[in-house]
Amino acid sequence: MKKYNVAILGATGLVGQTMIKVLEESSIDVENLYVFASSRSVGLNVTFRDKTYPIIELKEEAFNMELDFAFFAIDSELSKQYGPFLASKGVYVIDNSSQWRMDPTVPLIVPEINGHILNKDNHLIANPNCSTIQSVVPLKVIDKLFNVKAVSYSSYQAVSGSGTPGLNDLKRGEQGFPPEFYPKQIYSNVIPQIDSFLESGYTKEEMKMVNESQKILNKQMEINATCVRVPVFNGHSVSMVVETEKEVDLERLKSVFMKHDTIIYFNHSVYPTPLDASGQDKVMVGRLRLDLNHKNKVLLWSVADNIRKGAASNAIQIAEYLIKEGIV
Q: Where in the chain is the domain with CATH 3.40.50.720?
A: 4-128+311-324
Sequence-distant (≥ 6) Cβ neighbours of residue 199 within 8 angstroms: none
CA distances from 149 to 144, 209, 221 (A): 12, 16, 6
Residues of the chain with pLDDT under 50: none
Question: Could you confirm whether 227 is annotated as catalytic?
Answer: no
CA separation for the pair 108, 100 (Å, rounded):
8
Architecture of the domain whose range is 4-128+311-324 = 3-Layer(aba) Sandwich (3.40)
pTM of full prediction above 0.85: yes
Helix (H, G, I), strand (E, B) or coil at 43: coil
| Amino acid 201: pLDDT | 98
| Amino acid 1: pLDDT | 77
**Which among 123, 227, 236, 260 is annotated as catalytic?**
236
- Asked if 319 contacts 328 with a C-beta cutoff of 8 angstroms, the reply is yes
Question: Could you confirm whether 294 is annotated as catalytic?
Answer: no
pLDDT digits (tens, 9 = 90+) for 156-194: 999 999 999 999 999 999 999 999 999 999 999 999 999
Q: Where in the chain is the domain with CATH 3.30.360.10?
A: 131-305
**Which among 130, 227, 268, 294 is annotated as catalytic?**
130
CA separation for the pair 302, 240 (Å, rounded):
8
- Asked if the 131-305 domain carries CATH number 3.30.360.10, the reply is yes
The count of other CB atoms within 10 Å of the CB of residue 149 is 16
